[in-house]
Structure 1
Amino acid sequence: MITLKNLTLRRGAKVVLDKVSLVLNPGEKVALVGRNGAGKSTLFALVDGSLHEDNGDFAMPSQWRLAQVAQHMPETEESATGFVLAGDTRLVQLRAELTRAEESGDGMAIAHAHTDLADAGEHDAMPRAQALILGLGFKSNELDQPVNSFSGGWRMRLQLARALMCPSDLLLLDEPTNHLDLDALVWLEAWLKRYPGTLVVISHDREFLDAVTDVTVHIERQQLTRYAGNYSAFETLRAQQLALQQASFERQQEKIAHLQKFIDRFKAKATKARQAQSRVKALERMEKIAPVLADAEFTFEFKEPASLPNPMLAIRDGSYGYGDTEILRGVNRSVLAGQRIGILGANGQGKSTLVKTIAQQIPALGGTITTGKGLAIGYFAQQELDVLRPEDDPLQHMTRLARELAASPGEVAREQELRNFLGSFNFNGDMVKQAVGTMSGGEKARLVLAMIVWQRPNLLLLDEPTNHLDLSTREALSVALNEFEGTVMLVSHDRALLRAVCDEFWLVGRGTVAPFDGDLDDYQQYLLDEARRMRDSARQEAAPPAAAVSAQEQRKLDAQQRQQAAARARPLKRELEQSEKRMAALSDERAALESRLAGGLAPAELADAGRRLKAVSEELEGLEERWLELTEQLDNIG
């Protein structure tokens, strides 16, 4: 077990932990939570040996093997598979021993090395490594590509896969979800649930913590408090404890006031001096209960839009991508006032491309996007620096934005007004003059949100807005989005935010955009089925060919192939069924609209019905094409 006993830990001159005690038992899955700067990463540094306690005792079993994600960006021409495979340090060591034994010609040592390699899982090491890589979102044709050919975010995924490959008794994960999309996140959850060792994880994703952990350790004001249960259980227990503490504090204050009143009244009277003195001693002996000093929670709200065009925009025969590379084609979608759309899809399928094109950050390759009169877009880029200037400070950003939006020079906001506005987003004092390039990811994200709010949009395009936000700021964003009167289109791997904000989903994949007829639970099951299929496929490709199989083995192989075919067909059948239901509903709506148009309507109603009929027909046409694709894929599987 891991034991901290009366431990004090400093980072420079700052006391991070002050005389704390804690026990973590083998096999527990622990969430380490607390505000940014509370000391979570510092505690990790103590556990991995980077820091040492200043006072008290820290103990961990000496035989425990530790695994964690390296924070540096890997620079190597080694293949993705080879890089991850090297994470199994025991295997690397035994392979080196085998090489030395072979070079020396020591037959006994060679035999021992082969036995040890077999015990260490040499026979299935490559399939295990490739299953990790595929599970984290890579494609089969990328398994042998050099690490340096991938972007920074993908290389950090390889670092995560390398840490998971390492045999370990203790796994430390610091924000493992930051570089993952929802597909990879669901896969990682399933992997961590099966992990047999002790897990300690820092994350701002509450659904991830709820799914993976069974113990929560909270860092606050240099103290550690252990709670049984996941993050939601911790929130409930902590709220109850705070309520009890505040009630006890108030009762104690009443008692103190009563004792003090008696002392003040009678301390000068000889007949009462002894009783007064006893009450002074009672006050001195009393263990004071601290008041609840609740941290001020961050809140904000979006301004009421100046107008709400309906539809907001209509996409016809959209073709989107970069340069000569087409990622999405045949996109036919409409966005209406008040919609809350969650955009789902695997990484690299085109979610950000769709949002960037609608936001007019990149040009469309083909088709048209017709916007409603008065459309005002608020765009949150996945990479905040896409819209921020590192050398400028928040006040300069807001001043420039205020000038761009002002109808005339006389309407430009005064500096004090801009300072007050930034203060509402926790940019106080000297922070308004701090260069953005020196700020944390969370501070940059808050500045982007502030700039969006100032623009008073009626359509919000949010591409992974929570990547650097802590739990309280994510909660503030969720509340603000639910109160927003305009339309929201949201790309996020934060399922709590998607569940709270979105009431419909689009699925981006296979080169197109289609409605997803289901909720996040349906989507997660679809992702798990797909991940399982990819792992099975990787194992089959890595397995050596068999010279011959018996009739019994052949029957077993045939049964496995039938099961795999059924697994591949299941999500397609589900999507086919959903498409048929949606097509039937759209057909009924089209018939009703055609009947209304034939019956004679007022001009305004006629225009609305005509627009809706057009949108219904376009969606129905797209679904019919998708239905044909699904049918053909099922025929090929069968």
Structure 2
Amino acid sequence: MIRATGLTLRRGTKVLLDDTDFVVNPGERVGIVGKNGAGKSTLFALLQGRLDADAGSLLIPASWRIASVEQEISDNDMPAREFVIDGDTHLRALQAERAVTPDGNGHRIAELESALVEADAWSAPSRAEQLLAGLGFAPDEWMNPVRSFSGGWQMRLALARALMAPSELLLLDEPTNHLDLDAMLWLERWLAAYQGTVMLISHDTEFLDAVAKVILHFDQAKLVRYRGGYEDFLSQRAERLRQSRIAWDRQTREAARLQSFIDRFKAKATKAKQAQSRVKALARMETLAPLHAEAGIDIRLPEPLSMPDPLLVLDEVSTGYRLPGGGEKTVLRDVRLMVRGGARIGVLGVNGAGKSTLIKTLAEELPALAGERRASKGLVIGYFAQHQLDMLDPDATPLQHLARLAPETREQELRNYLGGFGFSGDTVNSKIAPMSGGEKARLALSLIVWRKPNLLLLDEPSNHLDVDTREALATALAEFAGSVLLVSHDRHLLRTTVDDFWIVADGKVTEFDGDLEDYRDWLAARNADARSEARLEQLASADAPAVDRKAQRRQEAEQRQRLSTLRRPLETRLKNVEADMEKTGARLAALDALIADPGLYSEERRAERLKALEEHGELSKRHAQLEEQWLSLQEELEALT
């Protein structure tokens, strides 16, 4: 296990951890949470041995191998698959030694061959390909050089390389930042099957809740351990704050305000599935009002001055990019859509499908290549782009940025406005160059909504934001009176903010009648269809004339061996999951019988009753997770038939 005793960590003069103790048991999935600058990444550096503690001790088993994601990748011409396999440094060392060992040294060759078998050398290419496929790389990209990929896709390669490395401890710092929803769901399944210990930093609360079973929270220079996932942590911490009566009056007002908003929304919620999903997400806000109050960030988006309907129409629009030579690259074709007043739309689609292109066209950052874009006379757009932070002046202060937009407005009014976005006191006069990504994102958002837009076009607005700020943004967008189009891989933000979804895929934009769970099923079915088409193409090419039958039989045998190698661990995991399901199902049945007993509700059996109800809740959640794992494993096995 990992054990910290009296651990003290400083960064300059700032104390990150002060005489704190914590334990991480083998096999646990631990989420590390805290505000930006709390010390999460510094803790990872300590675990990796890249810095020393200022006091106390941190003990990690000497036999444990630690894997983590490289944050920077030097340009190179290495094929992507080989780059990923390089993550298994032990395997590469064996292969390098085998390549230079003379044929006459039979004893050493035998030792190396045995070691290569133990290291699964022969399945390494297929294991690397499985990781690449799961993270969204098409088969025809597996042998492309690393330098040919964009920065975001290179970070996916770095993640695949870390997952390739045999390890007992896996450290993941914001692994979902460059992933679309499809890759994120795949990563959740992969981590559920990982046999070692996972320590995870993430601001994506749904991903954190799906993966983590223990939370370590940076709280006043201590690491406080909470049992369960992220939602359990929030509930437990909210209760702690209530019991300690932190800012009780303010919490009560915040809860009443949110409850009033939720009641109004429930009265209007008519679209069954997604509306109910949003009601649940909003109700969660009311429960956690004390946490929002304690965070000190209270984003309020100004109400639009007018709300025309419709706001914006695209009619048979084709959009994309004009090339330097005079040609055009069309990304989306024949798009017909209407943005109504008060619409709240989430834009879904895999990376590269054209989501940002659609948002840029709506914002008139990209001209339509064909068709017509019709805007209402009263349309006021607030556009948050992925590169928004690059447009800020690093040598200016938040107050100077806002004053440039509103030179006639009194300074105190500007200060009050910035205070709602977390900039108060001296911070309004501090240069933004050294600020964190989250602070810059908050400032960029405050500048965008100053003009009181009636249509917000938001392309990944929550990137770089810490959890508290994400929650504040979700609350603000949920209450915003205007229209919202949102591109985000943050599922909690989508659930809380939007009523409808559009899907961008295959050069088209279509309305999607369902919620995020339906979208996950749609993705799985789409991927299964793609795999079926690929197999049909393989079969068609195998029937072509002039095929070497001996070579074909060898290829078929290799394919069968490869499929068998891939199926074996999946089948083992499936059996383990089925055994766990049977065990939890039996215990749930026993608890159901106990809870149905009227005698359990006597005052004398209160402690027994509370214990039974708590265990029933935990087991029900565990059983649901097992069912999801079982379905995922079945899907993976079917894909290998």
Unaligned ranges ≥5, structure 1: 250-291, 404-411, 561-638
* Mean Cα deviation higher: 369-378 or 150-159: 150-159
The alpha-carbon deviation at position 65 of structure 1 amounts to 0.7
Pair 1:62 & 2:58 matched: no
Cα deviation, 1:17-73, whole Å, max 9, x if unaligned, reads 222111111100000111112221121112111122233222111111100011223
| Change over 3 Å in CA distance of 1:344–1:129 after alignment to 2 | same
User: Superposition pairs for residues 592-631 of structure 1, below 5 Å?
Assistant: none
Match of 2:518 in 1: 522
Match of 2:508 in 1: 512
Pair 1:480 & 2:479 matched: no
Match of 1:451 in 2: 447
TM-score, length-normalised on structure 2? 0.74
Pair 1:348 & 2:355 matched: no
| Change over 3 Å in CA distance of 1:206–1:545 after alignment to 2 | farther
Q: Which amino acid aligns with 1:300?
A: I
Pair 1:130 & 2:129 matched: yes
Pair 1:413 & 2:409 matched: yes
Rounded to whole Å, the distance in 2 between the matches of 1:450 and 1:236 is 30
The alpha-carbon deviation at position 303 of structure 1 amounts to 1.4
The alpha-carbon deviation at position 327 of structure 1 amounts to 0.6
Secondary structure of the 2:7 match is strand
Secondary structure of the 2:226 match is strand
Cα deviation, 1:338-378, whole Å, max 9, x if unaligned, reads 11110000000100000011101121211111111200101
Rounded to whole Å, the distance in 1 between the matches of 2:156 and 2:555 is 39
Secondary structure of the 1:446 match is helix
Native 8 Å contact 1:187 1:528 kept in 2: no
Rounded to whole Å, the distance in 1 between the matches of 2:11 and 2:532 is 47
| Change over 3 Å in CA distance of 1:125–1:516 after alignment to 2 | same
Find the partner of 2:392 among 388, 391, 398.
388
Q: Which amino acid aligns with 1:114?
A: E
The alpha-carbon deviation at position 428 of structure 1 amounts to 2.9
Rounded to whole Å, the distance in 2 between the matches of 1:486 and 1:23 is 47
| Change over 3 Å in CA distance of 1:531–1:97 after alignment to 2 | farther
Native 8 Å contact 1:178 1:467 kept in 2: yes
Find the partner of 1:497 among 482, 486, 493.
493
Match of 1:37 in 2: 37
Q: Which amino acid aligns with 1:395?
A: L
Rounded to whole Å, the distance in 1 between the matches of 2:14 and 2:25 is 29
Rounded to whole Å, the distance in 2 between the matches of 1:533 and 1:171 is 33
Secondary structure of the 1:77 match is coil
Match of 2:141 in 1: 142
Match of 1:547 in 2: 554
Q: Which amino acid aligns with 1:465?
A: P
Q: Which amino acid aligns with 2:9?
A: L
Unaligned ranges ≥5, structure 2: 249-290, 323-327, 543-550, 568-641
Match of 2:363 in 1: 359
Secondary structure of the 1:455 match is coil
Find the partner of 2:373 among 365, 369, 372.
369
| Change over 3 Å in CA distance of 1:367–1:34 after alignment to 2 | same
Rounded to whole Å, the distance in 2 between the matches of 1:309 and 1:417 is 28
* Count of matched residue pairs: 502
Match of 1:265 in 2: none
Native 8 Å contact 2:35 2:466 kept in 1: yes
Secondary structure of the 2:52 match is coil
* Mean Cα deviation higher: 74-83 or 499-508: 74-83
Rounded to whole Å, the distance in 2 between the matches of 1:306 and 1:352 is 27
TM-score, length-normalised on structure 1? 0.74
The alpha-carbon deviation at position 521 of structure 1 amounts to 0.6
| Change over 3 Å in CA distance of 1:120–1:53 after alignment to 2 | same
The alpha-carbon deviation at position 537 of structure 1 amounts to 9.3
Rounded to whole Å, the distance in 2 between the matches of 1:128 and 1:386 is 38
Rounded to whole Å, the distance in 2 between the matches of 1:26 and 1:535 is 37
Pair 1:330 & 2:328 matched: no
Secondary structure of the 2:62 match is coil
Secondary structure of the 1:42 match is helix
Secondary structure of the 2:450 match is helix
Native 8 Å contact 1:135 1:531 kept in 2: no
Match of 1:17 in 2: 17
Pair 1:53 & 2:53 matched: yes
Native 8 Å contact 1:186 1:527 kept in 2: no
The alpha-carbon deviation at position 386 of structure 1 amounts to 5.1
| Change over 3 Å in CA distance of 1:125–1:548 after alignment to 2 | closer
Q: Which amino acid aligns with 2:393?
A: R
